[in-house]
A and B are shown apart, each in its own frame.
Chain A
C-alpha cells in the first residue's frame, strides 16, 4: 500500500505533498487544542502501538500473511484527527527508518492512509455507529469503515499512480488495485472488528467515552447527526461503489483499435503473492472470448460485490454473537430494577 519513490509523477507528488502537509498541520492543531501537553505522549504511544500491531502477522494461506493497517482502529479509539496524526507518525518512521514508502510519496501515502483512511474512515464509522447505536453500532461501524477505508485509499492510490498517464493505464491499475484491495479490505475489517470486540469486552471506556470522553470534542461526527457527516459518509460510500463500477463505465475504443492496441503489449502481470492472497481463488470463471481487460473488470466487480457482502455478513454475525453474549448484565439489571 505504501507508494514507493519514482512511481508517481512529479506533479501529483507535489500536489499530494501540499495537501498532506496542510492536512497534517490542521490535524496537529486540532489534537494540540484538545490534548494540550498530553498530545505528544498520547500520539507517540499510539503510533508506537500501531507500528507494533502491524508486526503481528495474520496467517492467510501457505506463505502468505496479512497485517492490520490500523487507520480506522486508531480513529475509533482516538478520534479522526488524532488518528491521522498517528498514521502520519507511523508513515514517517516507516519511510525514513525502513524505506517503506518513498520520501517524495510521503504526502501521497499520508493523504491515502491518514486523511482518507483515518479521517475518511471515521466519517463512515460515525453515522453507522449513531444509526445502529450501542456496541453493535461501534462494531459494525468500525468494520465497514475499515473495509471502505482500504478501498478508498486504493482508489486514491490509483489516481495518484496513474495521474498524467493514459486512461487505459488508469483503468488497468484501478482494476488490479480494487481486486487486490478488496481482499486486503476484508482482512482489515475482520482484524479491526476482532480487536474492537476485545477492547469493548475488556476496556469499553476506551471507545465509549461515557461522561467526560477522552476527546469527545475532537469528533465532529460523534455529536448530533449533521448534514456534513451524512454527506461525507454518502460520498465515501459512493466513491467506494465508483471504484468498482468504473471499470464497467469505461467506454472502450472500438474493437479493432482495441485489439491493435493490445497486440505488442506486455502480458498482464500477475499480482505478487504477498498481495493476492485470500480472494485469489474467486476470480469468477469468465466466458471464453472476453479480453483480459474484461476478465479483470469482471473479477474486480466480483471482488467488490463478494467483498462487500462478506464484510457486511461478518460484521452482522460478529455483532449478533457479541451483543448476545454481552447485553445480559444490562438485561439483568433492568429486570432487578
Chain B
C-alpha cells in the first residue's frame, strides 16, 4: 500500500485510538441525538475525503452490511422505541445510521493503515505478544492458503466436464485437503523458523 495521503503517514496508534474512540462514541450515543450524529458524520466525511478512499467502494461494501443490520435493527426496534419515545421506523434509521458511521470509520482505518503497522500499534497498546505474533503469522499465510485453494479448485474444475458448481462432497474434500496441506506447511515453516533461532518472540525493525 503506497502512502498516498496524509492519513497514511500518521502513527498507527493515533489512528487506531481515534477510530476506536469514534466507534465507541457512536455506540454510546443516545438514540435520536440527530445533531450529534450529524456532527460525527461531518467529521467522518472530512476523514473520508482526506483518506482518499473511493466513496463508491465504501458504498458497495456498506450496502452488503446494511441489509443484515437493518433486519436485526427491525427485530429489536420495538422496545427501544417504547423507551425512547421515537417511532420504530426512526429507531431503525438511527441504528442503521450509527452502525454505518462505525463501519465506514473502520473501513477507512483498514484502508489507511497496513496490517503490520496496525498490529505493531495494538502490541504497543497492550495486546499480548503471543496473540499479535499469531495474527501476523495468520496474515502472512492467509493469501498463501487462499491461492492454494484457488489452485485446487481450478484443478478440480479442469477434471470435471461441464459442471459449473462442485458438489458438497467435493467441496468438503477440498477443505480437508487444504487443512492437511496447511498443517504440513506449518510443520515445514516451524522447522525452518526453529533452524533460524525462533524462540517464540517476534523481533521487528520497528521495535
User: What 1/0 mask marks residues of chain A from 77 to 116 whose CB sits below 8 Å from any chain B CB?
Assistant: 1000000010011101101111100111000000000000
Interchain CA distance A4-B118 in the complex, whole Å: 21
Residue B106 lies at the interface, judged by CB distance under 8 Å to chain A:
yes
Whether A99 pairs with B65 at a CB distance below 8 angstroms is yes
| Closest residue on chain A to residue B186 by CB atoms | A45
| Closest residue on chain A to residue B166 by CB atoms | A59
Whether A40 pairs with B186 at a CB distance below 8 angstroms is no
Interchain CA distance A101-B70 in the complex, whole Å: 14
Interchain CA distance A90-B178 in the complex, whole Å: 17
Whether B95 pairs with A7 at a CB distance below 8 angstroms is yes
User: What 1/0 mask marks residues of chain B from 189 to 207 whose CB sits below 8 Å from any chain A CB?
Assistant: 1100110001110100000
Question: Which of B3-11, B41-49, B132-140 sits within the interface?
Answer: B132-140
| Closest residue on chain A to residue B115 by CB atoms | A97
Whether A89 pairs with B131 at a CB distance below 8 angstroms is yes
Whether A266 pairs with B74 at a CB distance below 8 angstroms is yes
Residue B78 lies at the interface, judged by CB distance under 8 Å to chain A:
yes
Chain A 1-56 residues near chain B, CB threshold 8 A: 4-7, 10, 13, 24-25, 28, 32, 36-49, 51-53, 55-56
Interchain CA distance A24-B135 in the complex, whole Å: 14
Query: How many of chain B's residues touch chain A, expressed as a range?
Result: 35 or more
| Closest residue on chain B to residue A199 by CB atoms | B176
A5-B26, A7-B72, A96-B118 known; A49-B179 Cβ under 8 A: yes
Residue A139 lies at the interface, judged by CB distance under 8 Å to chain B:
no
User: Which residues from A are CB-within-8-Å of B186?
Assistant: 41-42, 45-46
Whether B79 pairs with A55 at a CB distance below 8 angstroms is no
Interchain CA distance A59-B80 in the complex, whole Å: 37
Contact for A40 among B68, B80, B106, B137, CB less than 8 A: B137
Whether A102 pairs with B23 at a CB distance below 8 angstroms is yes
Whether B76 pairs with A162 at a CB distance below 8 angstroms is yes
Chain A 186-241 residues near chain B, CB threshold 8 A: 190-191, 194-195, 197-199, 202-203, 206
Residue A333 lies at the interface, judged by CB distance under 8 Å to chain B:
no
Distance between A27 CB and nearest chain B CB, rounded to angstroms: 10
Residue B34 lies at the interface, judged by CB distance under 8 Å to chain A:
no
Whether A203 pairs with B180 at a CB distance below 8 angstroms is yes
A40-B134, A77-B179 known; A28-B142 Cβ under 8 A: no
Residue A294 lies at the interface, judged by CB distance under 8 Å to chain B:
no
Interchain CA distance A89-B134 in the complex, whole Å: 7
Chain B 140-190 residues near chain A, CB threshold 8 A: 140-142, 144-146, 148-149, 165, 168-169, 171-180, 182-183, 185-186, 189-190
Which A residues fall within an 8 A CB radius of B?
4-7, 10, 13, 24-25, 28, 32, 36-49, 51-53, 55-56, 58-59, 68, 77, 85, 88-90, 92-93, 95-99, 102-104, 161-162, 165-166, 168-169, 172-173, 176, 190-191, 194-195, 197-199, 202-203, 206, 265-266, 269, 271-272, 274
In the complex, the 5 A-B pairs of residues with the closest C-beta atoms, listed nearest first: A44-B137, A194-B172, A166-B79, A198-B176, A37-B200
